[in-house]
Structure 1
Amino acid sequence: MRSWRTLLARTTATLAAAITVASMGALAAPGAAHADASVVGGTRATLGEFPWMVRLSMGCGGALYSSTLVLTAAHCVSSTGTNTSITATLGVVDLNSTSKITRKSNYVYRAPGYTGSGKDWAFIRLASPVTGVATLPIAKTTAYDTGTFTIAGWGAATEGGAQQRYLLKATVPFVSDTTCNSSSMYNGEIIASNEICAGYTAGGTDTCQGDSGGPMFRRDSANAWVQVGIVSWGDGCARPNKPGVYTQVSYFAATIAAAATTLGG
């Protein structure tokens, strides 16, 4: 069974407890537990370092694709259609900052044919545009689907831990489909055509619960950031031989671009 890296799969009671813990702990004053920890195994991001990072109120991450669209994971949303319940927060690394930008959603578009395995991408359309904030382009070919990637998010810094107040970052290496699907890792569970793995054999650095939908990205040939993955699932967080599994953005690039055009983004 896939372990999605979001709070959505938990019960309402568990979600409420996680939010309470977050508000009392990781989202409390600087110096609280895990305040200087990472996604799992990294460091705190600096203001403006990844301006297109988005925190979504249902407990997921995302990336600003255009002034009105946030690219996230399909498993973070329930269906395609009108939705005014989601709040997107961006423009800050500290979720308690008074300078944060917030926007409500007005529509959700979930990848056509998504059934819980593969095709794990979606758009959140914002009710009003975000101006003055950089967007994150997506990879349109497989040219950047290897090497070392950057991950970031406000998710747990330890498996089963609380959500974070500060944006945390780390780097992870590409893991080939063959290796990721080996018996010592995911034993054939990876959909090689449209999922990509990244992480260390020894574990220790990874995305975690609450990071779902956030981007995995790297520099392109012009030294600009480009999104190559969307945080999707994994077996626990930062376990040995269990790298993170990400939606392979390049595989869906044309479909994502067409959906964005339809949505006015």
Structure 2
Amino acid sequence: MCSKIYVFTLIAVLTVQIASGDWSGRIVGGVPMSIKTIPYQVSLQVLSGHKTYHFCGGSIISNKFIITACHCTDNLKTQNLKILVGTSFNNRGGEKINALKIIRHQNYSRESLDYDIAVIELADRLKLSNSIQAIALPKANESFADNSMCLVSGWGDTQLPSAFRFQRNALRAVEVPIVNQEKCNNDYKMLGGITPRMMCAGYDFGGFDACAGDSGGPLACIGQNKTPKLCGIVSWGYECAAPHFTGVYTRVQVLLDWIKEKTGI
């Protein structure tokens, strides 16, 4: 997850992580999670030499399209991008699919991370299974109340010492509550606040959050028909799991028209 104070560009992340060999981080305060529980989760992988490495998350929204954060696609060439699906681990199992096209929101701002959304069209259609499934999008008029619980998942940093990263490449998830929009805007006032294309989720006391490497991944909330809906996309925040600074997500619900225009969904 990115910060307005220190935004990790893709090139910077790749340089640091390839040099250190550490692509292992995960959700802060979460627990290991099977891909069969969250089969819409994918790992965005960059091709470096003959290997690919996880750098961001994403969500399956159909057998042809992935949704992620636009900042994950900065300086990224389509031919260097692979989508790993159907596995709880970012370094083994599953299937790697080529990307055909990256569609970035035309109003995306690198400075504010407003409109932080992109769609990836896959070169081949996914074969859906119990570990590869699309997550539904929310309806425009669907209600998600403050303090209702949502699930954020990914392979991002846990902020734990390396000695405690006993499952270094395992998918993790944590439940976090939706934060009142006005409160979150006030909390982030010193950083310019948040826009209507953003939403916040987390605990005011901190301790549970997405982090670097989770960017682009899903915030899934239970919709009116009791099924998970893609309410948010991991976007940015001040540090990770810091008190009084909850995670900031791209608000999917207000961008449905753009998603439909680009994907037909």
TM-score range, shorter chain: 0.7 to 0.9
How big is each residue's C-alpha offset from its partner over 1:64-107, in whole Å with a ceiling of 9 and x where there is no partner?
01111110001111379x82220100101123433x11101111
CA separation in 2, counterparts of 1:5 and 1:169? Answer: 23
CA separation in 2, counterparts of 1:164 and 1:111? Answer: 33
1:111 aligned residue: 105
Aligned length: 245
Pairing partner for 1:179 from 170, 176, 183: 183
How big is each residue's C-alpha offset from its partner over 1:145-195, in whole Å with a ceiling of 9 and x where there is no partner?
64111100011111897894111000111111211122x544463334110
* Closer/same/farther in 2, CA of residues 208 and 12 from structure 1, 3 Å limit: closer
How big is each residue's C-alpha offset from its partner over 1:212-263, in whole Å with a ceiling of 9 and x where there is no partner?
10010111122111010000000111011110000000010111111112xx
SS of 1:106 mapped into structure 2: strand
2:142 paired with 1:138: no
For 2:83, give the aligned amino acid.
A
2:22 aligned residue: 21
Unaligned ranges ≥5, structure 2: 47-54
- Please report how far the alpha carbon of residue 13 of structure 1 lies from its aligned counterpart in structure 2 after TM superposition: 3.1
1:146-165 alignment to 2 at 5 Å?
Answer: 146=146, 147-158=148-159, 164-165=168-169
2:71 paired with 1:75: yes
Cα pair 1:79 1:109 within 8 Å, conserved: no
Q: State, as a whole percentage, how many aligned pairs show the same letter.
A: 27
2:31 paired with 1:43: yes
Cα pair 1:160 1:209 within 8 Å, conserved: no
Cα pair 1:119 1:247 within 8 Å, conserved: yes
1:97 aligned residue: 92
Structure 1 length-normalised TM: 0.83
SS of 1:13 mapped into structure 2: helix
SS of 2:16 mapped into structure 1: helix
* Closer/same/farther in 2, CA of residues 47 and 249 from structure 1, 3 Å limit: closer
2:81 aligned residue: 86
2:189 paired with 1:190: no
Cα pair 1:181 1:188 within 8 Å, conserved: no
2:50 aligned residue: none
Cα pair 2:235 2:248 within 8 Å, conserved: yes
2:68 paired with 1:65: no
Cα pair 1:175 1:197 within 8 Å, conserved: yes
RMSD value, Cα: 2.6
Which of 5-14 and 232-241 deviates more?
Answer: 5-14
2:245 paired with 1:235: no
SS of 1:190 mapped into structure 2: coil
- Please report how far the alpha carbon of residue 198 of structure 1 lies from its aligned counterpart in structure 2 after TM superposition: 0.8
2:205 paired with 1:202: yes
- Please report how far the alpha carbon of residue 17 of structure 1 lies from its aligned counterpart in structure 2 after TM superposition: 2.6
1:31 aligned residue: none
SS of 2:10 mapped into structure 1: coil
Cα pair 2:9 2:71 within 8 Å, conserved: no
Cα pair 1:6 1:212 within 8 Å, conserved: no
* Closer/same/farther in 2, CA of residues 13 and 160 from structure 1, 3 Å limit: farther
1:29 aligned residue: none
CA separation in 1, counterparts of 2:35 and 2:245? Answer: 31
Unaligned ranges ≥5, structure 1: 27-33
* Closer/same/farther in 2, CA of residues 124 and 203 from structure 1, 3 Å limit: same
